[in-house]
Amino acid sequence: MSRHLLVPVDGSPLSNRALAFAFEEFDDVAIVALHVLDPTDPGYSSPTDVSVKTEPPRGSDEWHERAAEEEERIFDDARELASDYGGEFDTETAVGAPAREIVDYAEENEIDHIVMGSHGRTGPTRLLLGSVAETVVRRSPVSVTVVRD
């Protein structure tokens, strides 16, 4: 019987490390990489893209377009990382508050384990574990492995 792992991805170094950890540590698993589009997030420009000075209004068509482009980049990077391990995974997208969407996905699907980074790219809001990781650990119906730097 194959196990089902959920790995939330947001393009941060730690979410990539969590995906690598999943490939390194778990055999015979089906991995789902979940990206959550958060309409309350100030923007989806790349953290290294200093050319983007202003963000479109949250929830606007332009915001969704940029978010979709960023998501495709995140999944492409994840696929490249997976190819280093000879691994495969499915991709899923959710819209909403990241912690809630991660927990809901685990509850509504046959997820046996969550592997996630201790914090993502939301710099000022990350304290200790990070608000998303901490909430997922507290509310998850399954075991959670938190990957730290």
| Distance in angstroms (rounded) separating the CA atoms of residues 89 and 54 | 34
Q: What pLDDT is attached to residue 123?
A: 47
Q: What pLDDT is attached to residue 60?
A: 78
Q: What pLDDT is attached to residue 2?
A: 58
| Distance in angstroms (rounded) separating the CA atoms of residues 94 and 105 | 8
Amino acid at 76: D
- In a 10 Å sphere around its CB, with 0-12 CB exposed, 13-18 middle and 19+ buried, how is residue 6 labelled? buried
Report how far Cα 26 is from the mean position of its chain's Cα atoms: 18
Yes or no: domain 3-147 corresponds to CATH 3.40.50.620:
yes
47 pLDDT above the threshold of 60:
no
What the block records as the tokens of 85 is 């391990």
Task: Return the higher-pLDDT residue of 46 and 2.
Answer: 2
Calculate mean pLDDT across residues 110-127: 72
84 pLDDT above the threshold of 50:
yes
